[in-house]
Amino acid sequence: MIAFGPVPSRRLGKSLGINNIPDKVCSYACVYCQIGRTLRMEVERRAFYEPELIFEEVSRKVEEAEAAGERIDYITFVPDGEPTLDVNLSREVEMLKSLGIPLAILTNSSLIWREDVREELFEFDFVSLKLDAVSEPLWRRVDRPHRSLSLEKILDGMLTFADGFGGKLVTETMLINVDYGGELEKIADFLAELGPDKAYIGIPTRPPAEPWVEPASEETIHLAYQLFSERLGGDRVEYLIGYEGNAFASTGDVEEDLLSITAVHPMREEAVRELLRKAGADWDVVEGLIRDGKLIELEYGGRRFYMRALPSRRKP
């Protein structure tokens, strides 16, 4: 299936997906990949599908969505491999622009050191860059890149791209159960230089390629949030921990509101108390959510924060 959706996305609203790379051709073999293990490790760009076929499939989906009254906020390249391996990407983008819907792409950043790839990414309205590590050993352990790739060239390419890109630029950092040491501070420093509109912090929410992989601890995720926020500002950092929709929407149910917000941002104790006050609820609600394993309490910088518990760590 080349075109799918539209599906709800916290990053992109209603997104119509394009799978322009077959399962699973990639420049990385990330240990946490939800698609599974990479079948073909490649870094040379080549043709996969005819651009006309992709355009026809997407056009048909757009017509079906419009007929059903479905909104499409973005058409998004989010395939079963690395989308910039597609040598026809530029032609596909050119054709799809005729549909009048903003275009997005989620890339692992591995080929952004190439000028031709950067030029093609400039044509998108929304670009998401993977940034799991800025140090060679951790990059090789977590992302398991093609042996010919250079992390230094990739990071330089990201900075060059960000300097000239006029659309919305976001990053995504996946946190798993490895020892980060001082890596989170280094990633935060790089983010400050890159200056994305939003830095997302993710965890594996589906079965990963390698069975040993689990989400990082809540403490590690919270530390990353605080460090990234200190460099970028809290309004430019968000969690992606598997909860789409409802975030920040007032449901009239204070428990649901609290869990929705803390799935995206940790909340300070005073903010939680204010939310409860507005809802006419008391602290028993928080204690109950902690007792049920749905909410956790964390300390940072002498303050108390509350965060939605990770799905994999829920009490049975």
**For 129, left (φ over 0), alpha (ψ -120 to 50), or beta?**
beta
Q: How confident is the model at residue 244 (pLDDT cuts 50, 70, 90)?
A: very low
Contacts 24+ apart (CB under 8 A), 118-121: 118/157, 118/160, 118/161, 118/164, 119/90, 120/84, 120/89, 120/90, 120/93, 121/84, 121/161, 121/165
Query: What would the mean pLDDT of 171-186 be, rounded to a whole number?
Result: 96
Higher local confidence (pLDDT), 176 or 256: 176
Average pLDDT for residues 283-303, to the nearest whole number? 86
Domain boundaries, the chain: 3-240, 243-316
pTM above 0.85, yes or no: no
Q: How far apart are CA 283 and CA 55, in angstroms?
A: 54
Same fold, 3-240 and 243-316: no
Report pLDDT digits (tens) over 83-105.
999 999 999 999 999 999 999 99
Give the mean model confidence (pLDDT) for residues 290-304.
82
Question: Is it the case that residue 9 has pLDDT exceeding 70?
Answer: yes
Find, among 198, 176, 190, the residue nearest to 135 by Cα.
Answer: 190
pLDDT at 225 over 60: yes
Averaged confidence pLDDT in the chain: 89
Residue 263 has pLDDT above 80, yes or no: no
| In CATH, 243-316 is 1.10.10.10 | yes
Domain 3-240 carries which CATH code?
Answer: 3.20.20.70
